[in-house]
Structure formats: structure tokens, C-alpha cells
Amino acid sequence: MRNGAEILKLGTLTLVWWCIIFGAVWAACYIVGILIPMALTSYESDAARMTAETCRALTPILSVLVFIPINAMFMVLFERRGLAIFTVRLGPNRVGPDGYLQTAADAVKLLFKEDITPRGADAFMFTLAPIVFFAPSIFGAMPLLAAVTNYHELFQIANLPTGIFFILAASSVPVVGIVMGGWASNNKYSLVGGLRSAAQAISYEIPLVLSLVTVCLMAGTLDVVQIAKQQSGGILNWNIFGGGALRGLDQAISLKFSSSAPALQELSKSSFEQVLKSVYLEPTAQALGLGAGQEGLAGIIAAFAVVLLIGSIWIAYGLYMTGACAEINRIPFDLPEAESELVSGYNTEYSGIKFAIFFLAEFTNLFIVASIAAVMFFGGGDCPVPAWLGTALGGPQIASVINQALTPLIEIKLVDPPTLFATIWVILKVYSIVFFAVLIRGTLPRFRIDQLMDFGWKRLIPLSLIVFVLVVYAREFVNVHVGT
């Protein structure tokens, strides 16, 4: 009974903090990206136009800088309360109403604690390490902004044609900061933690990258915005549920149920068969060199290829989450910290603001990992209801009513409905993945270092290579290319 009440409190806390986080980000983006440029349009000077363009260009960076500290405070509190529920106990509930301000108080405490540099430490490297660890969290998230906001005009500047490679490159930098901090601390425990982090990153970055490259191979692009757009239209189009493999089936169902008139139903039936033929049978027959009259064999092989693609993407998602948890040192892969063995590992000697930066970056990296998963596997900001089902349930009419109600806000650019709804779905997907990571932390014990390395090199890397090869061959029998 008490645990049920705690779950309800966690849900209420989450909604309150979401309003604080995204309200602050929205306000900052609106003021800098829209309100100030609108005010400057009354001036026709070059300086005013340049200032307006500069404000718009700085909006993505400002949004990230506003978002990161507030979101990190929420995620710390969310994890502590979530772990308390998993272990049937009370979480922090003293500071503020029901503990809502606990992490804010912790942040203030860390900021005012004495900043100590150990005797014998390399002071410059010791100070630089938290910055190197934290900076990629800011820049690595930039290409994701356009993908999670339905390609909003304020964030188009942050999009890159090779966005996923930029994100992966940025995500490989923090390990350098960990090694720097471990070495510069002049502490044997910190040094061992830094070296463990380097070995762990080398081992688990391979399956992580291969799992994302597998998705890029299916999509035919490295642009995260294009990958998210290809998954639009409902849950059957998401990569994790089939993506390109089931996209033709979704189109065929839309045609089949497009009308209730008998004459058009017959037309839809022929269109349904045509879509199945063009999306599944013809690519399979062409890839195998089959002739006329062998459609049955082509259909069997196409069905097997579809199942293989869906299974491969599910495995790729598991590989990605496992490698990502290892990359950001989450339990059961927190060997660089390992309190029972290394005191606190690479950050043993850190205190005050430097320790706070390490802490901030860890939770920010968890959020970025979850955001990448939502965009690459779960359709980004797409609604899970399939397009054909949404039409049958009156989705266009509901959207029209909502747009009419929001018309006064839309006219002053206070609200952009496509961006608003896409952001809501992204929030739900991302924090669901974060909740899953918290559940893993409360469930699994820590690996030993030898088990960690064996699991990465002997299990995950071979499996990721097998999945990649399977997708290379299976996609030839299913039309999963761009524009399907």
C-alpha cells in the first residue's frame, strides 16, 4: 500500500519537474529565438538584422545550457526516488514539499564546498579533466535537437548530414577526461579507475557503434532527422518494430481500409496487393534471380527476411543499450568508480564544483543515450498510433480542433503544434528509457573486471558483427531504402 503511494508521488514529482525543465527551456528559446528577433524587425539596419540572426543561431546552445543543469537535478532525484521504490523504502522527502528540492539543496551544497587540489597532483590537468568530461555533453546533443523538435526552424542550424557520426565522435571524448582526472589526481585508486574506463570504452564502443551503423544501413542515411522522418506514421514504422521492413505493410493496410465504399474497397484490395508485390515480392525475386511463376518462393523468403530484420533490430537495440550503459559507467558497468574496490575511482580526489561537474555530466550522458535510442529505434517524436488507425479514430478532426483552440498562441509564435506534440512524445520515450536504466541499476550487481572484458570481446562484439551481416543480406529482399 505504501509503495503504491510512493509510485503516485514519483509520478507527481515527475510531472512537476517536467513543467519546470521544459517551461524554462521553452521560455529561453522563445525569448532569444523569437521575441528578440521579432522586436528587432522594426529596425531596418544591418546591425539589427545581424543581431537577430545571431540570437536565432545561439538558440540551440542556449537551450542545451538551460536544460542540462535543471534536468540533471531532476534525474538525480528521479533515480533516488525510483531506487527507493524498487527496494521498498522511502527516498529523499525532507527538503521542500515531499523532497522536491532535495537535489537543488545538494547542488547548492556542492557549489559552496571547498575546492581541494591534492598535494603532488598536476593542478592544470586536474582542473581540465572535468571540463573535458563535461563539454562533449553540450556539443554532442546538438544534432539531436532538430530530430526531437520535428525539425523546428530554430534548430535546423544544428542539424548535420552526418549527425550520428558527430554524436558518436563527441561521445568518445569523455573517457579522455576520466583518464586525465585519474592520472592527475596522484592517487593509485583514481589511476586504476581511469585505466579501467579507457579499457571499458575501447571494448564497448565497438558494439555500440555497430548497432547504430546497422540502423543507418537500413535507413540509407547518417542524418538523424531523416532517420526519424522515415519512422513516421505509427509504431509499425519504428525501427524497433520493423522500420523499413514493415513500412510497406503499413502502407498496404492504409490503402485497404481507406474507404468503406464497395467499389473503392475493390480498388483498395488491388492496391493492397500491388504494394505487397512491389515492396516484398519484386525485391526478393530480383535479388534471387527468380522468374515468373515463382512468386510463392519469393513470398516465403521475403517473410523470412522481414522476421530476420525485425529480430536483428531488436538485438541491435539490446547491444546499443548495453554498450551505452558501459560507455557512461552505469551499473552494472561502473568499474571505473567501484566504491567497494576503488573508494570512488577516478573522482576520489575531487570535491566541490569539480565533483559537481562530473556528476552533472554523468546524468546528462544518460539522457543523451536515451535520446539517441528514442530517435534511432523508437521513431523520435512520432505518435505510436499508426496513420491509418489515427484516421479511422478521427485524428485529423481532433488535430483541427486543437489547432483552432491554439490559434491565438500560434499567431504570436508562442506555440508550434507539430513541435509541441513531437516534444511530448520524445519526453515520454526518453524518460521511459531512463526509467529502464534506473531499474537495471536497482536490479543487477556489478561485473568483475575480467567478466566485463570477456562479455564485451567474446559476446557483444561477435554478436554485433553477426547482426550487421544479417541486416546487409536481409535488406536486399525487403525494400527498406529511403523513400519507401
| Integer Cα distance of 75 and 433 in angstroms | 12
| Integer Cα distance of 40 and 19 in angstroms | 29
Alpha-carbon separation of residue 141 from 163, 213, 295, 382, 416 (angstroms): 10, 18, 46, 19, 22
Domain annotation covers residue 1: no
| Integer Cα distance of 207 and 321 in angstroms | 10
| Integer Cα distance of 31 and 258 in angstroms | 44
pLDDT at 265: 47
Quickly count: other Cβ atoms within 10 Å of residue 297's Cβ. Answer: 14
b vs e for 308-332, b when ≥16 Cβ sit within 10 Å of the residue's Cβ? bbbebbbbbbebbbbbbbbbbbbbb
**Position of cell 529523499?**
92
- Is 474:309 a contact under the CB 8 Å cutoff? yes
| Integer Cα distance of 167 and 145 in angstroms | 12
Backbone dihedral angles phi then psi of residue 412, each to the nearest 5 degrees = -100, 15
Query: pLDDT tens, 176-221?
Result: 888 888 888 888 888 888 888 888 888 898 999 999 999 988 888 8
- The stretches in the chain having pLDDT less than 70 are 1-2, 244, 248-276, 278-279, 281-282, 286-296, 298, 388, 392-396, 409-411, 479-484
Domain annotation covers residue 25: no
Domain annotation covers residue 16: no
| Integer Cα distance of 432 and 361 in angstroms | 20
Domain annotation covers residue 158: yes
This prediction has a pTM of: 0.89
Locate 59 and state its grid cell. Answer: 538558440
pLDDT at 320: 93
Q: Which amino acid is at 78?
A: F
* Number of domains the chain contains: 1
Q: What's the half-sphere exposure (Cβ side, CA atoms, 13 Å) at 164?
A: 26
| Integer Cα distance of 92 and 310 in angstroms | 42
pLDDT at 255: 60
Domain annotation covers residue 426: yes
**Position of cell 509503495?**
3
Domain annotation covers residue 193: yes
pLDDT at 463: 94
| Integer Cα distance of 271 and 257 in angstroms | 11
Domain annotation covers residue 28: no
pLDDT at 287: 65
Quickly count: other Cβ atoms within 10 Å of residue 22's Cβ. Answer: 16
Q: What is the largest CA-CA distance in the chain?
A: 86
| Integer Cα distance of 371 and 226 in angstroms | 15
pLDDT at 317: 93
| Integer Cα distance of 457 and 323 in angstroms | 12
Domain annotation covers residue 297: yes
Q: Which among 381, 384, 475, 367 has a CA at the least distance from the CA of 422?
A: 381
Mean pLDDT of the chain: 82
| Integer Cα distance of 137 and 363 in angstroms | 10
What's the first-to-final CA gap in the chain, in angstroms? 50
Locate 56 and state its grid cell. Answer: 536565432
| Integer Cα distance of 164 and 129 in angstroms | 25
Domain hosting 311: range is 113-477
